[in-house]
Amino acid sequence: MITKRIIPCLDVRNGRVVKGTNFQNLNDVSSPVELGEFYSSCGADELVFYDITASAEGRQLFTDILKEVASKIFIPLTVGGGINTVEDFDRVLKCGADKVSVNSGSIKNPDLISQAARLYGNQCVVISCDIKRVDGVFHVFAKGGREDTGMEAISWIKRCVDMGAGEVVVNSIDTDGVKKGFDIDMLKAVCEAVNVPVIASGGAGSAEDFITLFKEIPDIDAGLAASIFHFGEVQISDLKKLLKENNINVRL
Amino acid sequence: MIAIIDYGVGNLFSLVSSFKAIGADAVITSDKNTIRKADKIILPGVGAFEDAAKKLRESGLDKTVLEEAAKGKPLMGICLGMQLLFAHSFEYGCHEGLGLIDADILPFEGRLGKELKIPHIGWNALKINQKDCPLFKYINDGDHVYFVHSYFAEKDIAECAASAEYGIDFTACVWKDNIYACQFHPEKSGTVGLNILRGFCEIGEN
């Protein structure tokens, strides 16, 4: 059977990997190519690259880095950040990306999902959703978590999947960067609503948080994290051994 | 030299990079003479069967591939490229393939439990049943490889060299004389995938 995936996420700005707390106070970490190679060699099942640069120069630099990563790392690559058109899909797919993650771009133009799914297949289109509770209701946030769209998150995700999104990344703003565990309630709600792979993001602080995630939500497909991997607090190879010992099916 | 056939389907960047990484000389080509001169042929492919089969025929490269395969040149199909080697695919209708493997490609839809998601995407374990297949020279039974597909070949065909399980058992690798194929993506399957490509590259070498 298919294994549960462990996915390190690399936020790239101006050619460097960065990680902040609650999406602010970004810190410079390392070279994306070096980190990618390191993760690939220690058992990461997939890599996610988010381009958080705003400038055109930054975007070109990101594209060059992506090509370099894709020529050296032979595991699936997902790319997100600044994806607003099918031309953006084309640009990153040509650099070796396997899947493209859309967030704000699909909120501005939901047709982007169906257009991209028709051109590249559902398996290529990942909807990434930043979600925060507002008065007890899950709201979709846009622009890197800065803007409340007012949309209810579960119905939005269902709509995206109906339009052709083949995978969902759920990033809880409430737990992101806090390192006290994944947002189990939010993730359960998404898993119950859709029948495509769901990736948990936001809140991992220890290896135990991943055990809790996969035990509490057997339907969840993958756990994604950044800082705990980048700063070496959790080694992916150790994490996967621990998951295996806990009878969670992983690739060693 | 290995010829990776370019018939306008899919992205070949990772495949070329993989061969580079193992030190093999691989070129992307749609030139018939280059394919004839090559020592080995890779037939890649992603997307829909009907569209890919049509493009392969319209380019005339189907004939070149069949001629070279008939001469005994090692040929490896990858993902949709594997499915194209079969007689038919029942992906949205019934479409004819190259017929090198006398079996059909079927949809997962309707054959799996409701709890299983389609496409089958992710890392899954190989069950090797033809240990002497050159593709497996550097890998082990139970090694994981990366799959992305909604259609499959049944496990009980004579050419099934390795299978995998997703609700049902299906063919993951094909071997028949000089014809080889993988349903998964060796170029996305880490070291295991590179080692499968290495096994293919070494066929016929001493």
Asked whether residue A77 is assigned to any structural domain, the reply reads: yes
| pLDDT > 60? residue A20 | no
Is residue A75 a contact partner of residue A102, using CB atoms and an 8 Å limit?
no
Question: Residue B26 corresponds to which tokens in the numbers above?
Answer: 């691989």
> Tokens 């609503």 belong to which residue?
A193
Taking the CA of residue B46 and the nearest CA in chain A, the distance in Å comes to 9
pLDDT tens per residue, chain B (206 residues)? 999 999 987 778 889 999 999 999 999 999 999 999 999 999 998 888 998 999 999 999 999 999 999 999 999 999 999 999 999 999 989 999 999 999 999 999 999 998 898 889 999 999 999 999 999 999 999 999 999 999 999 999 999 999 999 999 999 999 999 999 999 999 999 999 999 999 999 999 86
**Domain count across chain A:** 1
Out of A45, A130, A176, A183, the active site residue is: A130
Is A251 inside any structural domain?
A: no
Contact residues on chain A for B14, CB-CB shorter than 8 A: 70, 74, 96, 98
Is A252 inside a domain boundary?
Answer: no
SS3 A190: helix
Higher pLDDT, A224 or B13: A224
| Interchain pair A195, B117: CB under 8 A | yes
Determine the structural domain holding residue B166 and report its residue range: 2-201
Residues within 8 A of A (CB atoms), B 30-89 only: 46-47
Three-state DSSP state, A76: coil
For the domain that residue A227 is a member of, what is the CATH number?
Answer: 3.20.20.70
Phi, psi (deg, nearest 5) at residue A191:
-60, -35
Whether B156 is in a domain gets the answer: yes
Task: Give domain status of residue A62, yes or no.
Answer: yes
Residues of B in contact with A2 (CB under 8 A): 120-124, 147, 166
B120 belongs to the catalytic site: no
Q: Which of B68, B79, B120, B149 is catalytic?
A: B79
CB A5 within 8 A of CB A221: yes
Give the domain range for residue A189: 5-245
Q: How many domains does chain B have?
A: 1
pLDDT at residue number A23: 44
- Residue A16: what are its φ and ψ, rounded to 5°? -120, 155
Q: Do B189 and A96 lie within an 8 Å CB cutoff?
A: no
Residue B125 within a domain: yes
Q: Dig out the tokens for A249 from the structure.
A: 């099916």
Residue A171 lies in a domain: yes
Mean pLDDT of A15-33: 65
d(Cα A216, Cα A218) in Å, to the nearest integer?
6
A250 located within any domain = no
Residue A67's alpha-carbon distances to A63, A87, B185, in angstroms, are 6, 17, 19
What's residue A115's pLDDT? 94
Which CATH number belongs to the domain containing residue B110 in this structure?
3.40.50.880
Mean pLDDT of chain A: 91
User: What pTM does this model have?
Assistant: 0.92
- Residue B206, in any domain of the structure: no
Average pLDDT over residues A146-167: 96
ipTM for this model: 0.90
Note the pLDDT of residue B206.
64
Residue ranges of alpha helices (H) inside chain A are 32-41, 56-72, 86-94, 104-108, 111-120, 153-163, 184-193, 207-216, 227-230, 236-245
